[in-house]
Amino acid sequence: MRELMYLTVILPLFGFLFNGIFGSKIKNEKIIGIIGSSTVGISFLIALGAFFETLGLPVDQRQKIVTLFSWLHIGNLDVSFAYQIDQLSLVMALIVTGVGFVIHVYSIGYMHGDKAFWRFFSYMNLFIFAMMNLVLADNFVLLFLGWEGVGLCSYLLIGFWYDRKFEKSTVADASKKAFIVNRIGDFGFLLGMFLIFMTFGSLNFNQVFSRAVSFNVPEYVFGFIALFLFIGATGKSAQIPLYIWLPDAMAGPTPVSALIHAATMVTAGVYMVARTSIIYASAPSILMVVAIIGTLTAFFAATIGIVQNDIKKVLAYSTVSQLGYMFMAMGVGAFSAGIFHVMTHAFFKALLFLGAGSVIHSMHDDQNIQNYGGLKKYMPATYLTFLAASLAISGIPPFAGFFSKDEILWYSFANGSIIYWIVGAFTAFLTAFYIFRLYILTFEGKERFGHDKHPHESPAVMTVPLIILAVLSVIGGFIGIPSVFSGEHGNQFHNWLAPLFKDADRKLAIYNFHTHFQEILLMSLSVILGLGGIILAAYIYLKKPQIAANTARKFKGIYNLLWNKYFVDEAYDTVVVNPIVTGSRSFLWKIADNKIIDGAVNGAAKLVDILSINIRKLQTGVAQFYALVMMLGLVAALFWIILSL
Amino acid sequence: MITLILSNLSVNIQAIYPEIILSLTLVALVIFDLIFNKQKKFLPLISIIGLFFAFIFVIPEFGTSRSAFPTSENNSLLSIDSFSAFFKGLIIIASVFVVLFSMSSNEIKSCPDRQGEYYSLMFGMIIGMFFLVSANDLILIYLSIELLSLSSYVLAGFVKTSIRNSEASLKYIIYGSTSSGIMLFGISILYGITGSTNLFEINSVLGFSNVPQITFLISILMIFTGIGFKISIVPFHFWTPDIYEGAPLPITAFLSVASKAAGFAVLIRFIEITFAESLSKSGFWQLIPYVNWQNLLVLFSIITMTFGNFAALWQDNLKRLLAYSSIAHAGYLMLGVAVLSDQGLTAVLIYFSIYLFMNLGAFFIVMLIANKINSENIDDYRGLGYSIPFLSTSLAIFLVSLTGLPPTAGFIGKLYIFFALVDAKMIVVAIIALLNTVVALYYYIRVLKVMFLERTDKHVEIEISPLNFVIILALLAPTLIFGVYFTPLVNIAKNSIQLLGF
């Protein structure tokens, strides 16, 4: 199956082309949906087969390169469509195709009746195609192709309902914001890529990473490469300071939010840092920047999530916060823990989004949780699965989120410092609080929606995906049981990925001097904090709803700050966007463009024009004249060649 | 003097099977035309069959490297090597397309009783080109150029009733004879200095003894003039716009692609064999420093592309515009030669293969439109994007490719030329060439603007026959595919730069 991995890229491309070209004529939602989902489903089966085949191989034979064709070969630059199948890319491929397939199936129900049903599925397939290129690429150029491709699909899908209103502006504006903010990050990524090529003379992963070990490269060069790549990651993975696009990305259909803006695309930055772990390990100062940015993002996004009322917005900030955790793991050198969290997060966050989609569906597109309440008796499947996901994200054992989040927190203490742990654990408390606030306001308590609404459970095509993801959210963590419990076998997931990070680990030279006692103590503390968050949320929103209102009134300043998301959007508008807009309008447009550039261009054009008219006059049609010029040319050439001897 | 050594005739005959097949086809065409002079529609078929078999015999030449028809112990008239095979392949592909073009050209159809003459003259041109790309000897080079030219003089004036055709033909003969006279003069001076007409022998004479420098330079430049006339570089280009505009369109297309290919092949072989000292490891040619070829070629190519592009700017006749554009393209191609390295030569071959498809494509669509509206004037193209979307879009793709914008193949051709220039540290030249493409952008895009952005009430309808549809697709496919997936083309080109003697 490993040789067939290229099919996991080709099949979604086929789906995109088929639905994109014929979709508008087929009109049959079933055919479009089945083709769109099955391409991803078959890809998943192939990836699964490749995974088990790899599992059976000895560790040193697990990496395999499947080259489709060499695209460009000039000098040192060799760009091939070559896919690298190894432990890391297989994990990512399984997440992308597995969760992707489930979400595709769900979309058949969710997008039912949409006027551009076919367009939705062709974009979704295109996204899977780009994402598979991103995770399977064996060189930076192909990774960048996927990186830009997912950005494009994200733009197209956020703006899918381009004619609708979104908050204060339009859906189209939200998609533009996502695209533009991502471009800033992509620029950083490109610079990083150039620097890699300059330093190592190659863009192929294996070559670059082995040269990163063997070449004698000063640390500051590694630092710049790592920093530029990380700027790319902050754009794609919505970290401070470029996270602002992700909440607005919720303007897209909910399955898009689940697939692209929770489970897969936004984790591309994490994947990229893990892939280039040796570069980051060679630049410890930048690694610390990664850890700090991740921790801060986790914390600030969680605080914003506490007060938001839009169900998808809460989940969006929750995603930003969880991505922060992943970068925190990367920053302290716990690469496999970060990837583990990518996986469990894909399960439970996709589930939360799909559950939210199910609720929104039955509440006729109302997304305000203050207008929900008591929905559990109307939609039992959604309710139960949502509860499982909420427990998972809160880090309650034995749900999936517990294992991954706890591993990150443990390494943040063991490899990093106690400060990371304190902020991380407090964020875990906040997480439990905001997610159960959301859960209780939606499913528990009194019904607050109007009589015009008749909540109902979603059809099976939507609930079955929920159940699958719920099962994964419950048991998905067991493959990463920490060694403190599993004993001699150690952490299975960690062992699987460890060979990829051994160079980085050696460079970082992390030795664990901490005891099992410490580990269990910290673990218990974080579970207690999580439970505390849940109980507090239950107490406030079930028993004493007035507390919430009173606190909001009492701490009006803080509440406003959080409600307005720290005014970051406004700050960007004042500091960056408006100066650029006014500057462009008054200087770049009216003076630089109109006067200087246009003047130069028009002047050059005029010059060309005059030259051209004169040259044209040479073609007189008189034969003798031509022969004369020919001879003169010969003589002039003779002089030139004698002079240049 | 040349004395052929005919001891091993059968082996030597085998080396020219493609040329023999082409000659037989020529004879067959004449005979068929005489006997069945009512069955004109079989003539193109016979031509294509002949070309097909010639192609089959060209393929095995690829990868070989041998000489044929020895004139002395070490030297011969012909080189059969990958380089010549590559150009023969290009010439055959171009010829097939031109035969297909001729089948639907109104101009050619207007002389129904002289079809046999038309196709057999075309084969005269092809045979001339085949010998030209293999020739090792100045006498053979001259003879093949004459064969090529004499056939094309007649073809340029094929439609005798059209004044435009006759004028083109007459002008062509005048310049053609002038330039071949100059070339022959140059050859005779060179023979006087070196005592030989064989390129290899001249090379060894240059290596071992002193020759009078100024006289030598004059003779080289005179030969260069003859070749420069064929590939229409400024200032030997004056015939090009007039003849391209005047000649029937299929012939114009043929001249702009195939005859130019043969001219470039002979220029490259002339420079590389006559002046080669040794081949350095980095792929840069070490030439005997009698002539500073790089300076000469760079000067001519910059003048050529600048002149071609600037003169094209205000052309209203599309055929004339394409004529100037093909002059400009000759400039880019010559830049690739001017690098004087394997990389530059590879770039030239890549560029030529792409240029073949996009230039033929542009000419073919102009012809199809001219068949209907009887005009090649840009003003008459107004709004065609709406009434004949398929043809207009195809023309747009060919023009964009000629400009050299991605994702079309034209971009890849220019990319490799620029890479070769940059690798040879000829940055300033690369920048001048780059600026030239900006100028070129204007006149190509102007056509698109007229077709797609300007509206008209006139409605033109052109029915595209299935054959023509297939021809357009066959030209479009490489123009688009090589823009994205060009590795095979690059590999073929890399394997085709091997000349006999290296």
Mean pLDDT of B227-247: 88
Q: At what angle do helices B199-208 and B163-194 cross, to 10 degrees?
A: 40
| Angstroms from B431 CA to nearest CA on chain A | 16
The mean pLDDT of B40-46, rounded to a whole number, is 87
Separation of alpha carbons B265 and B248, rounded Å: 25
Distance from CA of B313 to the nearest CA of A (A): 7
Of B17, B123, B18, B132, give the one whose Cα is nearest residue B78: B132
Distance CA B436, CA A218 (A): 42
User: What's the pLDDT at A518?
Assistant: 84
**Neighboring chain B residues of A629 at a CB cutoff of 8 Å:** 235, 238
pLDDT averaged over every residue in chain B: 89
Domain-embedded: residue B198: no
CB contact under 8 A, A634 and B182: yes
Same domain, A26 and A5: yes
Q: Is residue A396 part of a domain?
A: yes
Question: Residues A586, A465: one domain?
Answer: no
Tally of domains in chain B: 1
CA pair distance B195, B2, nearest whole angstrom: 11
Task: State the pLDDT at residue A608.
Answer: 77
pLDDT band, very low/low/confident/very high, at B280 (cuts 50, 70, 90): low
pLDDT at B212: 87
Shared-domain flag, residues A546 and A577: no
State which amino acid sits at residue A478.
Answer: F
Same domain? For A467 and A378 the reply is yes
**Packing angle of the helix pair A87-110, A268-275 (nearest 10 deg):** 170
For the record, the structure tokens of B373 come out as: 């509206």
Give yes or no for B425 touching A (CB within 8 A).
Answer: no
> The tokens of A22 are what?
């014929």
User: What is A518-540 written as a DSSP string?
Assistant: HHHHHHHHHHHHHHHHHHHHHII
Q: Which of A75, A612, A634 sits opposite B311 (nearest CB)?
A: A612
Instruction: Please check whether residue B375 lies inside any domain of the structure.
Output: yes
Quick one: tokens of B298? 């760079």
Q: CB B238 to CB A630 under 8 A?
A: yes
Tell me the per-residue pLDDT of B103-127, one tens digit each, with 9 for 90 and over. 988 888 888 888 888 999 999 999 9
Q: What is the mean pLDDT of residues B336-361?
A: 93
Q: Which of A77, A105, A138 is the last residue of a domain?
A: A138
Nearest CA distance, B217 vs chain A (angstrom)? 7
pLDDT digits (tens, 9 = 90+) for B286-326: 888 888 889 899 999 999 999 899 888 888 889 899 999 99
Contact B302, B333 (CB under 8 A): no
Claim to verify: residue A242 and residue A274 sit in the same structural domain: yes
Whether B94 has a pLDDT exceeding 90, the answer reads yes
| Domain-terminating residue out of A78, A111, A138 | A138
* Domain coverage including residue A362: 188-556
Torsions phi, psi of A85, nearest 5? -105, 110
Between CA A305 and CA A317 the distance in angstroms is 5
Least confident of A339-348, A370-379, B2-11, B351-360: B2-11
Considering only residues B261 and A215, tell me which one the structure prediction assigns the higher pLDDT: B261
pLDDT-based confidence at residue B384 (cuts at 50, 70, 90): confident
Rounded Cα distance between A562 and A556, Å, is 10
Structure tokens at A551: 């606190």
Helix (H) / strand (E) containing A354: helix A335-362
User: Is position B460 within any domain?
Assistant: yes
Mark the ranges of chain A whose per-residue pLDDT is less than 50.
Answer: none
> How does DSSP classify residue B79?
E
pLDDT range class, residue B6, cuts 50, 70, 90: low
| B206, B361, B362, B392 from B368: Cα distances, Å | 52, 11, 10, 11
**H or E segment and range at residue A81:** strand A77-85
Count, residues in chain A: 645
DSSP-assigned beta bridge partners for residue A81? A69
Residue B2, pLDDT above cutoff 70: no
Cβ(A299)–Cβ(A461) under 8 Å?
Answer: no
| Average pLDDT for B197-226 | 89
Those of residues 455-474 in A touching chain B at CB distance below 8 A are: none
Are A534 and A622 in the same domain?
no
Residue B386 lies in a domain: yes
Residue B90 has pLDDT above 90, yes or no: yes
Contacts of A613 in chain B (CB under 8 A): 314
Q: What per-residue confidence (pLDDT) applies to A511?
A: 62
**Residue A175 placed within a domain:** no
Domain count, chain A: 3
B490–A634 C-beta distance less than 8 A? no
* A468 and A536 together in one domain: yes
Task: Specify the higher pLDDT residue, A16 or B1.
Answer: A16
The answer to whether residues A351 and A458 belong to one domain is yes
Residue A155 lies in a domain: no
Any CB–CB contact under 8 A between B175 and chain A?
Answer: yes
Alpha carbon distance A372, A557 (integer Å): 27
Asked whether residue B178 is assigned to any structural domain, the reply reads no
Has residue A407 been placed in a domain?
A: yes
Q: What are phi and psi of A325, to 5 degrees?
A: -55, -45
**In whole angstroms, what is the distance from residue A537 CA to residue A552 CA?**
15
Q: Considering the entire predicted model, what is its pTM? A: 0.78
Residues of B in contact with A75 (CB under 8 A): 419, 423
Residue B56 lies in a domain: no
Q: Of B289, B416, B487, which is closest to A70 when you measure between CB atoms?
A: B487
Q: Tell whether the model's pLDDT for residue B268 goes beyond 60.
A: yes
Range of the domain at B478: 293-502
Closest CA to B317 of B447, B136, B468: B447
Q: What is the CA radius of gyration of chain A?
A: 28
Residue A73 touches partner B, C-beta closer than 8 Å:
yes
Pair (A530, A581) in one structural domain: no
Which of A556, A580, A598 lies at the terminal end of a domain, its last residue? Answer: A556
- Same-domain status, A540 and A638: no
A457 in the same domain as A403? yes
Residues A551 and A573 in one domain: no
The pLDDT assigned to B282 comes to 66
